[in-house]
Chains A and B, each alone.
Chain A
Amino acid sequence: MSYLELLRLAAPEAIVVLTAFVVLTIGLVTGRREAGDTPAATAGLGALVAALGLAIAAATIVRLPGHATLFHGMLVVSPLNSLFQVIVLVLAFFTVILARGERLLPNKGEYLAMILLATVGLMLLIGSEELLMIFIGLELTGLSLYVMTAFDKASQTSAEAGLKYFLFGSMASAFTLFGLSLIYGFTGTTSLAAIGPRLAEQALPPLLFVGIVMTLIGFLFKIAAAPFHLWAPDAYQGAPVSTAGFIASGSKVASFIVLGKILLIGFGPVSGSADWHGLIAGWTPILAVLSALSILIGNLVALVQKNVRRLLAYSAVAHGGYTLLGLIAGGRAGFSATLFYTTIYAVTLVGAFGVVGFVRRENGGDDLADFAGLRARSPLLAGCMAIFLLSLAGLPPLAGFFGKFYLFSTALRAGANHGLLWLVALALFGSLISLYYYLIVLKVIFLDENAQATPAVARYDFEMRADYLPKMTLLVLAGAVLLLGIIPGTLVARILASFG
């Protein structure tokens, strides 16, 4: 190993970090007037630099060698990791663009820097197959996201959300760290590839199993699976909109890919089985129960929500449950189904939160009532929101439909004699419930008339003109959701091929 080699393989991360510092500097040099509001020019320049840095990092990833491993898996370059690092960078890119609309935030430079640092954390998570680095990535991501959640200091809910997210998050991290130390204690290694064989050679001691479960808790917290979802509604509702979008998208994608790697590479030998008639102890039954719980709780509680962001949060819990199906099914097919679903879900949610951000800016809120008559005010936003929500509900020809088909069919194929049918049926039942509340939102958008005739937008002349780019972004995202539904083959083949 030479430092040069490290620098070459870690170049994408380094570029994003450098960009973060440049953005920070821009904010410091040009920003900070008496008013506390970030000047528009600074915000524009910062966003431009951040987007550029992310794009360069993505380009660098493409030029990395196909396979490389440093420090026993602490830094792994593989087609799979590269693919998902690029996906995370793209999600961050969209978040940065949509964060342009976040008008009321002070310290725009720092905000963008935190987005970039969180992105680095996600890249570390994806790019390592070693427990120590995974934990560091988890913490870097978590810490940046806590700060971003609490960033809107003018809003009390933002502070509350940040605190809640932080408390739950550090608790979950503590569990994970405890679990990791137990695993290290029993296996004597922190490399995922080495843990698997060690687990296979001995009968599983109960304490080691406890360690495995504790490790999982941190990730289940990240993906907001019930019963570790309690932070999600507050964070999604209270955080700045772009942060909420990033938590729901980038953070989730990275968490799922790491969770999948830990489970399938590291803990593969002790998976067990969740078949209806053939229950075998292991992590699969636990995940199956949590998945069922997430689907039920998420969908049922979402039914009564009056705030769109809370509704999206509870539906995120349910979608976390669906996505777990792929990991429960296991194997290459299951993992790829999970990755496909979580990717399209992330794209959809970034878009949905983008629309929420617009509505919030125009109406000052994001309750269901604020969406009334959106169709009349902006057919474009209404149409995009319809595409996003219907994709979440799993209706063709949108990406969510194919994702569900992929997930459910692999889950059904995995168990002997359709053993996972119970879970698939439950998930379909959950989709039925979810269609109801998504349609309620769409009903408000397309049917209800707006109570206040003139939205209070006149004050923000400049921003309205600057809306062009974010709106185009939303259109691109909606187009992506539609295209991934009509021609999903490309992405599926890409994911499958990246397993090598």
Chain B
Amino acid sequence: MIAWTIYLTLAGALLALLLPRILARWVALVATAGGFGLGLAALFAQHTDFAHFTTIVRVPWVPALGMNYHLAADGISLTMTLVTGLTALAAVLFSWKVENRPNEFFFWLLLVVAGSYGVFLSADLFLFFVFYELVIVPKYFLIAIWGSTNKEYGAMKLTLYSFLGGALVFIGILVAYVTAGTLDLLQLTQFQFAPQLQAWAFPVLFLGFAVLGGIWPFHTWAPTGHVAAPTAGSMLLAGIVMKLGAYGALRVALNLFPLGFQMWSKWIAVLAVIGIVYAAAVALRQNDLKFVIGYSSVSHMGFVLLGLATANVLGVSGAVLQMFSHGVIGALLFALAGAVYYRTHTRNLNDLSLMGLSRTMPFITFAFVVASAASMGIPGFSGFAAEITILIGAWKTFPLAVGITGLGMVLVAAFTLRALKKSFFGDQTGGRVRQETRVPNGAATLAEKLGASLLICATLAVGLYPKLLLDRIMPAVETMRFLHR
């Protein structure tokens, strides 16, 4: 059933391209809502085996080379499917007003979504990689055509980084395929690769994924790309695409080469912690609202990598939860930043601070406050639940890292508050808001309200009751073979 997320989205993409332009957004809405519904139904269905990567479909594809069309799902992939559907639906809602070439816009957007569903559900390495690379080009067009600031540069940089990561992943996959003689993930995770091979193949594969996951020092595509992207593009990037890298690292790199992972996990933790602190520090000095959020994404993804590096159930489960959580929060932040930009045509914090947006855009301000709170890791939101789980997990393996990360969290709080203050509450002196900077149409549209509410509900639900997801994630993590026992 969950496989239909892919087909539904692909069909939606084709229809969006071919139908009259009026219908494109409705097609996209139906397709993403359908995907979200399917994801929800699958994750909360009774009697599902969340612990094992259970096959859904398995059809021979290219028998001569041992390729199968093989889809499977466990708690982790279902969680990721859900966040994909959620973000995609919100992204469509926030792009309701795209007037420029809407057919192509929704075509590319749905292609990204379909590819992401595919990545999360693939159980065949080749299929996995097909979906993984499928996401690259649509991103380029989304950013280059509908983007803003420096869009062609940002699009190209992002695409080339993605492809570079893809090339490294390609090498890793080829080595695994050629050595083990199979592409089936279920068989590959049982295969014992020679330690010498793992020692070099793991870092190649992991780094390839981590480029997309925004690992320091290969993160620079993320802020540039986020800033250049249109609202929906940033939402997809933060909500889904960065997760593809982290998910790939978890599902493929760690499970295929556990010995290599043990050799390198320290260094992953080091890079993750540097990423958390560095990105937060940089975010503190940015003046473009989207840059701030972009760097905060890198910082939050650092938590995911740190969680993976712990190699214990708590840390890794926390990492998956953080993927979900940041998917929702990041998407929400970018959506709101986009909404602000749509109305004010600026994202410069100093300019925004003169506008007193808290008065003219009450709903957006409210949503942004919530999103900021979630992003800072205030208890009650998903961010807190995820990060605390990661830190407890990391405490056992990397106590020093937890200490430094604490500093990072302070910085996150600092830059988030700064951005929030400057962009919405900059001018509190009442009537001194200058007339010409007053924003004419501040009220949020219905679509925006719906999209924002959806994401806020999600982060609240998981924040208040993390077991909702953790109960489904942890069994799957427990069966993985790279864990320290």
A interface residues, Cβ below 8 angstroms from B: 390, 395-397, 401-402, 405-406, 408-409, 412-413, 418, 421, 424-425, 428-429, 431-432, 435-436, 439, 443, 446-447, 487-489, 492-493, 496
Contact = CB atoms under 8 A, between A and B. Distances in A.
Contacts of B126: 405
Interface in B134-155: 134, 136-137, 140-141, 144-145, 152
Contacts of A488: 62
Given A409-B178, A436-B156, A447-B145, A428 B65 contact: no
A444 to B, nearest CB: 11
Given A390-B137, A488-B62, A435 B159 contact: yes
B167 interface: yes
A439 B134 CA distance: 15
B478 to A, nearest CB: 33
Q: Which 10 A-B pairs have the closest CB atoms?
A: A489-B62, A396-B130, A428-B167, A413-B178, A412-B178, A396-B133, A492-B64, A412-B174, A435-B163, A396-B134
A396 B128 CA distance: 11
Interface string B176-198: 01100000000000000000000
B40 interface: no
Nearest to A402: B62
Query: DSSP class of B's interface residues: helix, strand, loop or mixed?
Result: helix
28 contacts: A390-B137, A395-B134, A395-B137, A396-B130, A396-B133, A397-B134, A401-B130, A401-B133, A402-B62, A405-B126, A406-B65, A409-B65, A409-B174, A418-B175, A418-B178, A421-B175, A424-B174, A428-B171, A435-B163, A436-B156, A439-B140, A439-B156, A439-B159, A443-B152, A446-B144, A489-B62, A489-B63, A492-B62
B278 interface: no
B64 A496 contact: yes
Given A408-B174, A436-B156, 16 more contacts: A390-B137, A395-B136, A396-B129, A397-B134, A405-B129, A405-B170, A412-B178, A418-B178, A425-B171, A428-B167, A428-B170, A432-B160, A443-B144, A447-B145, A487-B61, A492-B64
Contacts of B177: 409
Given A397-B134, A405-B126, A492 B171 contact: no
Contacts of B178: 409, 412-413, 418
B388 interface: no
Contacts of A408: 170, 174
A431 B159 CA distance: 13
Interface string B55-82: 0000001111101000000000000000
Query: DSSP class of A's interface residues: helix, strand, loop or mixed?
Result: helix
A421 B201 CA distance: 12
A447 B144 contact: yes
A6 to B, nearest CB: 36
A493 B64 contact: yes
B164 interface: yes
A488 B64 CA distance: 10
Contacts of B133: 395-396, 401
Contacts of B129: 396, 405
Contacts of B175: 412, 418, 421
Contact of B164 (A395, A432, A439, A447): A432
A409 B160 CA distance: 23
Nearest to A409: B174
A396 B118 CA distance: 13
Contacts of A489: 61-64, 67
Interface in B93-150: 126, 129-131, 133-134, 136-137, 140-141, 144-145
Interface string B156-168: 1001100110010
Contact of A429 (B137, B159, B167): B167
A424 B177 CA distance: 14
Nearest to B181: A413
Nearest to A404: B170
B167 A431 contact: yes
Contacts of B160: 432, 435-436
A15 B131 CA distance: 46
Given A395-B133, A405-B126, A432-B160, A424 B64 contact: no
B76 to A, nearest CB: 23
Contacts of B61: 487, 489
A443 B143 CA distance: 11
Nearest to A431: B167
A427 to B, nearest CB: 9
Given A395-B137, A489-B62, A492-B64, A424 B171 contact: yes
Contacts of A487: 61
A397 to B, nearest CB: 6
Interface in B172-229: 174-175, 177-178
A402 B129 CA distance: 11
B21 to A, nearest CB: 13
Contacts of A401: 130, 133
A446 B141 contact: yes
A276 B441 CA distance: 65
Contacts of B64: 489, 492-493, 496
Interface centre among B137, B156, B171 (most CB of A within 10 A): B137
Contacts of A443: 144, 152
A496 B63 CA distance: 12
Contacts of B144: 443, 446-447
A436 B164 CA distance: 11
A404 to B, nearest CB: 9
Given A401-B130, A447-B152, A488-B62, A421 B171 contact: yes
A425 B164 CA distance: 11
Contacts of B62: 402, 488-489, 492
Contacts of A413: 178
A405 B124 CA distance: 14
B174 A446 contact: no
Nearest to B177: A409
A421 B140 CA distance: 29
A488 B62 CA distance: 7
Nearest to A440: B156
A436 B67 CA distance: 29
Contacts of A397: 130, 134
B65 to A, nearest CB: 7
A409 B180 CA distance: 12
A493 B63 CA distance: 8
Nearest to B196: A417
Contacts of B170: 405, 408, 428
Interface centre among B131, B160, B163, B171 (most CB of A within 10 A): B163
Contacts of A409: 65, 174, 177-178
B332 to A, nearest CB: 29
Nearest to A429: B167
A482 to B, nearest CB: 12
Nearest to A383: B17
A396 B129 CA distance: 9
Contacts of B152: 443, 447
A82 B174 CA distance: 32
A132 B399 CA distance: 75
B167 A432 contact: yes
A428 B166 CA distance: 9
A447 B145 CA distance: 6
A107 to B, nearest CB: 42
A489 B69 CA distance: 12
A488 B156 CA distance: 30
A460 to B, nearest CB: 29
A408 B164 CA distance: 16
A492 B130 contact: no
B163 A432 contact: yes
B457 to A, nearest CB: 35
A145 B160 CA distance: 37
A271 to B, nearest CB: 20
A163 B8 CA distance: 55
A492 B164 contact: no
A9 B61 CA distance: 36
Contacts of A418: 175, 178
